[in-house]
């Protein structure tokens, strides 16, 4: 079974068509990258799969569950990390993780989720400080831990390492890879082509609401005689 | 363009938006309407009051009284039957029936005070509803003055105390079917001042504070970018909406309780009527009445909060959320002022309709209306506000299920541009 099946997906905002009939599959357990220039339709696609936006036409299935008919069931098995997400500033890091964990489990099971979250966040004693006092990197780590601590079947990560320094970005990538190895399917979007090349099993390049390339990093590089994905990106988008 | 002009232009654009102008316009319209209402009151004051006279005396002093009353009032009844007089004055929309007893003239001429009975037909218990009775009080003052003048001229050796104050009176107020002996309209309005001031004020505070919290909460969710995460959690949209409503309602009620204690202390400190026993006049509330008041407050709070949730979906951030509280503030202040000054029953039909449609009016009016047994208005209000709240909650849940929360309105080129940026 595919983790995600997208068929002829269209998204209109009034008279503006943001996504123009895209189709792709994400296999169970793989890390799938969605790349493209600004305004190509990446975030809209991710938001649709995350049940935030309604489908104009076409269909999306997540682990066999239809997004239109069973959005609540889909929410039980996915986690979504938006690009510019934030956490509740009046809570401590631990309280924030507890707040989220309580939606997925109760009692000891919820405590176990929080323990995992604290481990992933690696904020040491600062986990008990208010989120308001966190740096951007600390907040992002907290949010990544929030997205991964429940060990979802599918995690959708929009600009995973946005605004992070090299060290923080590396740590977060390692964490995501580790979760993926345990079986979580990862759908990510990034403007960092090196990150995409390092992390993704397969990549879809989306431009002007359409998927214009899809394959493994090696396949895409070979097809376009490029030394890296950034070159592939430039050649496809500028063509 | 100079740097200063550039900054002024930018600040001006930021501050002068539709959302800042519209509430000001609404406020101006409201004050305009209140002004016209005050104008009506001025007319009421200057117009001759409608009264009736029952003269059982037919003596020289009662003749003076008749002349004064006849000259300065619109006399709807002049006869000797109290019941007929009451009926005539009531039909004419009059204010009072003045009864001069059989021995009125002889008592005064013999050196005693003359006693008169005044039956007041009270239309409403608002502050402005006492205006018409004030006119009659002035009239009775003139009558007393004319009798004093007669006594000074005709009997120089009379008791000065009687000459100065020749008339004593007893008041009976008839209001909404209740006959209250030894109660004047002013006294009744003073008795009801706690209901006239405290209740509308507290209701207004609850609505503004709790409503503001809901709208701000939505603004903060958007500003802190926490909304998207919340909406992808395995929790129903209905639960998110209900959670926000219940929390705000509880906080609102706690704050209202604190305000109520403080404001009540303030009112009882300044009220001279603090020791008045409303039960003595049949104006106390029973357990069922208190339940109805509680239900009225609860459904209104629910209506306010759900309305705020709808408004909150328009909030882009905390700052815009603050602006969005303006409509709610206006809708809370308008009925507060109206119910303070006038009774629902004495308002013009158009204003009655406005007051009924504003869901926050009902708990402001409920206590006073229940005191006088107007269950129909209170129950109709509860039913209307409950329906209003249900519709608002349904709209809120529907909005939560659409893209609107994240994308704003789905029309217009400007938005398409914004969405392009967001993607």
B416/A44 CB distance under 8 A: no
Distance from CA of A162 to the nearest CA of B (A): 15
Chain A touched by B403 (CB under 8 Å): yes
B73, B100, B120, B122 from B47: Cα distances, Å: 8, 24, 18, 17
- Alpha carbons B172 and B80: distance in angstroms, whole number: 18
Residue B169 belongs to what H/E stretch?
strand B167-175
Q: Is B122 helix (H, G, I), strand (E, B) or coil?
A: strand
pLDDT digits (tens, 9 = 90+) for A44-98: 999 999 999 999 999 999 999 999 999 999 999 999 999 888 999 989 999 999 9
At residue B155, the pLDDT reads 67
Best of A52, A74, A76 to disrupt the B interface (most B CBs within 10 Å) is: A52
A103/B421 CB distance under 8 A: no
Instruction: Tell me the pLDDT band of B318, cut-offs 50, 70 and 90.
Output: confident
Q: How much is the average pLDDT of B282-306?
A: 84
At residue B410, the pLDDT reads 43
Distance from CA of B399 to the nearest CA of A (A): 12
Which range scores top for mean pLDDT: A200-204, B69-73, B211-215, B269-273?
A200-204
Q: How much is the average pLDDT of B239-246?
A: 87
Q: Which of A41-50, B96-105, B116-125, B153-162 has the lowest mean pLDDT?
A: B153-162
pLDDT digits (tens, 9 = 90+) for A133-178: 999 889 999 999 999 999 999 999 999 888 788 888 888 899 899 9
Chain A touched by B20 (CB under 8 Å): no
Cβ-based burial of A239 (10 A; exposed 0-12, middle 13-18, buried ≥19): exposed
Instruction: Tell me the pLDDT band of B263, cut-offs 50, 70 and 90.
Output: low
Scanning every residue of chain B, which has its alpha carbon at the shortest distance from the alpha carbon of A75?
B234
Buried b (16+ CB within 10 A) or exposed e, A160-180: bbbebeeebbebbbebbeebb
Distance from CA of A61 to the nearest CA of B (A): 16
What order do you get walking across the sheet with B96-100 strand by strand?
B74-79, B50-55, B96-100, B114-122, B167-175, B178-181
Which range scores top for mean pLDDT: A10-14, B123-127, B187-191, B328-332?
A10-14
pLDDT value at B275 more than 60: no
- Alpha carbons B340 and B198: distance in angstroms, whole number: 9
Scanning every residue of chain A, which has its alpha carbon at the shortest distance from the alpha carbon of B230?
A100
Enumerate residues 6+ apart whose C-beta is below 8 A from A6. Answer: A22, A23, A24, A25, A45, A49, A58, A59, A60
As beta bridge partners, residue A185 has A154
Chain B residues closer than 8 Å to A42 by CB: 423
pLDDT value at A193 more than 80: yes
A54/B402 CB distance under 8 A: yes
Please tell me which residue, B183 or B20, carries the higher pLDDT value. B183
- Alpha carbons A89 and A91: distance in angstroms, whole number: 5
pLDDT value at B207 more than 90: no
Chain A residues closer than 8 Å to B236 by CB: 72
- Alpha carbons B208 and B174: distance in angstroms, whole number: 36
- Alpha carbons B270 and A160: distance in angstroms, whole number: 63
Percentage with pLDDT > 90 across chain B: 9
Percentage with pLDDT > 70 across chain B: 83
Chain B residues closer than 8 Å to A131 by CB: none
Chain B touched by A50 (CB under 8 Å): yes
Of B226, B411, B419, the CB nearest to A87: B226
B228/A72 CB distance under 8 A: no
Scanning every residue of chain B, which has its alpha carbon at the shortest distance from the alpha carbon of A46?
B423
At residue A58, the pLDDT reads 95
Say how far residue A194 (Cα) sits from the centre of its chain.
16
Scanning every residue of chain A, which has its alpha carbon at the shortest distance from the alpha carbon of B226?
A86
pLDDT value at B269 more than 70: no
Q: Which of A115-119, A125-129, B127-131 has the lowest mean pLDDT?
A: B127-131
pLDDT digits (tens, 9 = 90+) for B365-400: 888 888 878 899 999 999 999 999 999 989 988 888
pLDDT digits (tens, 9 = 90+) for B57-105: 888 888 888 888 888 888 888 888 888 988 888 888 888 899 998 888 8
């Amino acid at each position: 079974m595919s983790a995600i099946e997208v068929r002829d997906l269209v998204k209109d905002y009034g008279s503006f068509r943001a996504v123009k009939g895209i189709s792709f599959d994400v296999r169970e357990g793989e890390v799938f990258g969605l790349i493209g220039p600004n305004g190509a339709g990446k975030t809209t696609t991710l938001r649709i799969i995350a049940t935030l936006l309604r489908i104009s036409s076409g269909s999306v299935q997540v682990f066999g569950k239809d997004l239109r008919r069973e959005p609540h069931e889909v929410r039980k098995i996915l986690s979504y990390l938006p690009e510019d997400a934030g956490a509740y500033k009046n809570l401590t890091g631990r309280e924030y993780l507890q707040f989220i964990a309580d939606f997925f489990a109760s009692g000891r099971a919820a405590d176990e989720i929080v323990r995992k979250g604290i481990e992933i966040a690696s904020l040491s004693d600062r986990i008990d400080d208010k989120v308001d006092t966190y740096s951007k990197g600390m907040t992002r780590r907290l949010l990544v831990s929030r997205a991964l601590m429940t060990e979802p079947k599918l995690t959708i990560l929009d600009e995973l390492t946005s605004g992070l320094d090299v060290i923080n970005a590396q740590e977060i990538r390692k964490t995501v890879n580790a979760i993926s190895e345990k079986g979580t399917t990862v759908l990510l979007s990034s403007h960092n082509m090196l990150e995409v090349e390092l992390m993704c099993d397969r990549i879809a390049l989306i431009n002007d609401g359409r998927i214009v390339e899809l394959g493994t990093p090696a396949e895409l590089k070979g097809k376009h005689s490029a030394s890296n994905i950034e070159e592939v990106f430039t050649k496809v988008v500028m063509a | 363009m100079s740097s200063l002009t550039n900054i002024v232009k930018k600040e001006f654009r930021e501050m002068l938006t539709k959302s800042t102008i519209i509430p000001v316009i609404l406020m101006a319209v409201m004050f305009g309407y209140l002004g016209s209402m005050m104008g009506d009151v001025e007319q009421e004051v200057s117009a001759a009051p409608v009264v009736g006279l029952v003269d059982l005396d037919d003596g020289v002093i009662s003749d003076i009284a008749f002349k004064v009353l006849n000259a300065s009032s619109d006399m709807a009844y002049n006869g000797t039957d109290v019941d007929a007089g009451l009926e005539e004055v009531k039909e004419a929309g009059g204010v009072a029936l003045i009864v001069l007893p059989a021995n009125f003239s002889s008592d005064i001429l013999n050196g005693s005070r003359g006693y008169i009975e005044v039956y007041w037909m009270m239309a409403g218990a608002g502050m402005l509803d006492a205006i018409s009775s004030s006119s009659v009080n002035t009239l009775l003052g003139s009558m007393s003055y004319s009798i004093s003048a007669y006594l000074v001229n005709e009997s120089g050796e009379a008791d000065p105390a009687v000459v100065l104050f020749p008339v004593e009176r007893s008041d009976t107020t008839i209001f909404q079917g209740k006959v209250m002996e030894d109660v004047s309209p002013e006294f009744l309005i003073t008795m009801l001042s706690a209901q006239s001031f405290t209740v509308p004020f507290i209701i207004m505070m609850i609505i503004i504070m709790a409503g503001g919290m809901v709208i701000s909460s939505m603004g903060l969710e958007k500003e802190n970018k926490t909304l998207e995460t919340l909406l992808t959690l395995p929790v129903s949209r209905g639960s998110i909406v209900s959670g926000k409503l219940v929390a705000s309602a509880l906080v609102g009620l706690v704050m209202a309780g604190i305000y109520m204690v403080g404001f009540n202390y303030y009112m009882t400190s300044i009220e001279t009527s603090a020791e008045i026993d409303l039960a003595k006049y049949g104006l106390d509330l029973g357990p069922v009445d208190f339940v109805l008041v509680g239900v009225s407050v609860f459904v209104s709070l629910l209506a306010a909060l759900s309305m705020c949730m709808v408004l909150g979906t328009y909030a882009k951030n905390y700052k815009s959320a603050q602006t969005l509280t303006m409509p709610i503030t206006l809708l809370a202040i308008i009925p507060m002022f109206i119910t303070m000054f006038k009774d629902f029953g004495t308002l013009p039909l158009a204003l009655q309709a406005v007051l009924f449609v504003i869901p926050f009016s009902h708990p402001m009016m409920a206590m006073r209306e229940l005191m006088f047994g107007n269950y129909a208005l209170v129950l109709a209000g509860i039913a209307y506000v409950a329906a209003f709240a249900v519709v608002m909650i349904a709209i809120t849940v529907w909005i939560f299920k659409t893209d609107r929360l994240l994308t704003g309105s789905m029309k217009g080129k400007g938005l398409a541009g914004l969405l392009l940026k967001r993607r």
